[in-house]
Structure 1
Amino acid sequence: MYKFFVYSLLGLLALSACSDEERLESKYPILSFDIGNEPVVLSAKSADMTFAIFYWTRAELVNSSASPEYVLEMDFAGNNFTNAVSLINTNDLSFMPSNSELNQALIDFGVVAGEAVDVEFRIAFSINGQSYTSDNVLSANITPYEIIVSYAKLYVPGDQNSWGFDDANLLYSVFNDGIYEGYLYLDNGDNWNSFKMSYQPNWDSADAIIGDADASGTSGVLQVGNWGGNNVYATDGKGVYYIQADIPGLTYTIYKTDWAMTGDFNSWGFTDMTYNIDTDKWILTADLSAGGFKFIANQDWSKVKGDNELDGILDKGTDENNIKIEEDGNYTITLDLSQAIYTYSVEKN
Structure 2
Amino acid sequence: MKNIFKTFLALFLAINLTSCEDESNLAYVNEAGDFNITSPVTGSSVVLTPDYPTNPALTLTWQAANFGTPTAIDYTVQVSLSGSNFADVTDITSTNNTFAAITVDELNGAAVAAGLIPYTEGGLDIRIKATIGTNAEMTKYSNTITYLVTPYTTELPKLAVPGNHQGWTPGTAPRIAASGFGQTDYEGYMWLDGGHKFVGPDASGNYNWGNTDWGDDGSFSGVLAETGESDCTAPAGYYRVQANTTALTYTETLTNWGIVGAATPGGWTSSTALTYNPSTKKWEGTIALTAGEFKFRANDAWTINLGGDSDSDGSMNYDGPNLSIATSGTYFVTLDLSNPRAYTYSIQ
Aligned partner letter, 1:296: R
Q: Distance in 2 between matches of 1:98 and 1:169?
A: 34
- Conservation of the 8 A alpha-carbon contact between 1:48 and 1:98: no
Partner of 2:166: 161
* Residue 77 (structure 1) aligns with: none
SS at match of 2:105: helix
Distance 1:173 1:298 in 2: 24
Query: In 1, Cα distance between the equivalents of 2:91 and 2:179?
Result: 24
2:327 corresponds in structure 1 to: 327
Structure 1 162/50 Cα, relative in aligned 2: closer, same or farther at 3 Å? closer
RMSD, matched Cα: 3.7
Q: Which residue of 1 aligns with 2:245?
A: 247
Query: Which letter maps to 2:306?
Result: K
**Following superposition of structure 1 onto structure 2, how do residues 327-346 of structure 1 map, counting pairs within 5 Å?**
327-346=327-346
Tell me how far apart the structure 1 counterparts of residues 47 and 166 of structure 2 sit (CA, whole Å). 47
The separation in 1 between residues aligned to 2:47 and 2:197, in whole angstroms, is 43
Query: Which SS does the other structure have where 2:254 is aligned?
Result: strand
Contact 1:261 1:294 in 2 (8 A): yes
Is contact 2:49–2:104 with CA below 8 Å preserved after alignment? no
Indicate the residue corresponding to 1:230 in structure 2: 230
Distance apart, 1:97 and its partner CA: 4.4
CA drift at 1:282: 0.4
Distance 1:309 1:48 in 2: 39
How far apart are 1:164 and its partner, in Å?
A: 1.9
Is the alpha carbon distance of 1:272 and 1:6 closer, same or farther for their aligned partners in structure 2, counting shifts above 3 Å? Answer: closer
User: 1:265 maps to what in 2?
Assistant: 263
Evaluate the alpha carbon distance shift between residue 322 and residue 283 of structure 1 in structure 2; reply closer, same or farther with a 3 A threshold: same
Q: Quick one: which amino acid aligns to residue 280 of structure 2?
A: T
Matched-pair identity in %: 33
Q: Specify the code of the residue in structure 2 equivalent to 1:345.
A: Y
Cα 1:270/1:204, change in 2 over 3 Å: same
For residues 244-323 of structure 1, what are the structure 2 equivalents within 5 Å? 244-266=242-264, 267-268=267-268, 269-309=270-310, 313-318=315-320, 321-323=321-323
**CA deviation profile, 1:57-81 (whole Å, cap 9, x unmatched):** xxxxxxxxxxxxxxxxxxxxxxxxx
Q: How big is the shift at 1:2?
A: 6.3
Change over 3 Å in CA distance of 1:197–1:102 after alignment to 2: closer
Q: 8 Å contact 1:170–1:182 — kept in the other structure?
A: yes
- 2:79 is matched with which residue? none
How many Å apart are 1:298 and its aligned residue? 1.0
Do 1:48 and 1:99's aligned partners in 2 also have CA atoms closer than 8 Å? no
Contact 2:282-2:334 at 8 Å conserved across structures: yes
Cα-to-partner distance string for 1:10-43 (whole Å, 9 max, x where unaligned): xxxxxxxxxxxxxxxxxxxxxxxx9xxxxxxxxx
Inter-CA distance 210–101: structure 2 relative to 1 (3 Å threshold): same
Q: Secondary structure of 1:340's partner?
A: coil
- 1:343 Cα shift? 3.0
Asked if the contact 1:211/1:222 (under 8 Å) is kept, the reply is: yes
Distance apart, 1:293 and its partner CA: 1.0
CA separation of 1:4/1:199 partners in 2, compared to 1, >3 Å: closer, same or farther?
closer
Change (3 A) 1:344 1:96: same
TM-score normalised by length of structure 2: 0.54
Helix, strand or coil at the partner of 2:180: coil
Q: Does 1:173 align with 2:178?
A: yes
Give 1:48 shift: 7.8
Taking the TM superposition and a 5 Å limit, the aligned residue runs for 1:93-172 are: 96-98=101-103, 100=105, 149-172=154-177
Aligned residue number for residue 214 of structure 2: 210
AA aligned to 1:338 is S
Q: Alpha carbons of 1:223 and 1:291: their partners in 2 closer, same or farther (altered >3 Å)?
A: same
What is the rounded CA distance, in whole Å, between the counterparts of 1:169 and 1:331 in structure 2?
A: 29
The offset of 1:315, in angstroms, is: 0.8
Distance 1:293 1:51, change over 3 A: farther
SS in structure 1 of the partner of residue 315 of structure 2: coil
Aligned length: 218
TM superposition score normalised by structure 1: 0.53
**What displacement does 1:99 show?**
5.6
Report if aligned partners of 1:310, 1:323 keep a CA contact under 8 Å in 2. Answer: no
Structure exhibiting the larger radius of gyration computed from Cα positions:
2
Distance 1:100 1:169, change over 3 A: same
Q: 1:161 to 1:308 in 2, by over 3 A?
A: closer
Question: What 5-or-longer segments of structure 1 have no aligned partner?
Answer: 8-33, 35-46, 53-93, 105-147, 188-192
Q: What residue ranges of structure 2 are gaps of 5+ in the alignment?
A: 1-44, 52-60, 62-89, 110-152, 202-206
Q: Secondary structure at the match of 1:158?
A: coil
Q: Distance in 2 between matches of 1:220 and 1:50?
A: 51
CA offset at residue 342 of structure 1? 3.1
Distance 1:247 1:310 in 2: 26
Q: Is the 8 A contact 1:211 1:232 kept in 2?
A: yes
Partner SS state of residue 100, structure 1: helix
Between the aligned partners of 2:49 and 2:197, the Cα distance in structure 1 is 42
Instruction: State the partner residue of 1:221.
Output: 223
